[in-house]
Amino acid sequence: MKYQLVLDYHLGEGALGPYLEGLSEGAALARQCRRCDRVTFPPERSCTCQSLDNLPASFGWKTLAGTATVIHRTDGLGGGFALVRFDGADNMAVCRISNPQEEGNHATLIATGEYRPAITIEILGEAVETID
Ligand SMILES: [Zn+2]
């Protein structure tokens, strides 16, 4: 037996509103602790500095470049997924890979649109080392 089930509901974004809106537009909005400056993308609920209050005023938003280094990836029938570290972030993120046919460890965040807010990256190839 096969039938279609359609769900139409709204999930409150709460404190993650700026982060989710950024994902839909392809912008990497990270959460930054005002006490120790730790930057997390995706944003973490509390900070490793054990900040006593977990109030929204304890954190600010910081826009990252959106580029990332792939730490590990896996490819299967359901698509490609990667563990990455976004440039400027102190934590790592699990992402969907939009172009799993591409090889390389350098990637960038892409916009996912209003209805699928999730961290999705496009593989750009191998990172190029630069010497200043
Ligand atoms: Zn902190």
Tell me: the pLDDT tens digits for 7-52?
887 777 788 889 999 999 999 999 999 989 999 999 998 888 876 5
Greater confidence (125 vs 12) lies with 125
Task: End-to-end CA distance of the chain: give it in Å, rounded.
Answer: 63
Ligand 1 centroid–CA 33 distance in Å is: 5
Spatial strand order in the sheet of 28-33:
39-40, 28-33, 59-64
Strands (E) across 57-102 are located at 59-64, 67-76, 79-86, 93-97
Q: Please enumerate in sequence order all residues whose Cβ is within 8 A of that of 61, keeping only pairs 6 or more positions apart, or say none.
A: 18, 19, 29, 30, 31, 32
Q: pLDDT band at 54, cuts 50/70/90?
A: low
d(CA 50, CA 43): 15
pLDDT of residue 52: 56
Question: Distance between CA atoms of 105 and 107, rounded to whole angstroms?
Answer: 7
Quick: pLDDT tens for 57-107. Answer: 788 999 999 999 999 999 998 899 999 999 999 999 999 999 999 999 999
Q: How far is the CA of 65 from the centre of ligand 1 (A)?
A: 21
> What is the Å distance from ligand 1's center to 69 Cα?
23
Residues in the 5 Å CB sphere of ion ligand 1: 33, 35-36, 38, 47, 49
pLDDT band for position 56 (cuts 50, 70, 90): low
**How far does the centroid of ligand 1 lie from the alpha carbon of residue 64, in Å?**
18
The CA 98 to ligand 1 mean position distance, Å, reads: 32
Mean predicted lDDT score pLDDT of the chain: 90
How much is the pLDDT for 65? Answer: 98
Q: How confident is the model at residue 132 (pLDDT cuts 50, 70, 90)?
A: confident
Structure tokens at 15: 């404190």
Whole-number Å distance, alpha carbon 2 to ligand 1 midpoint, is 50
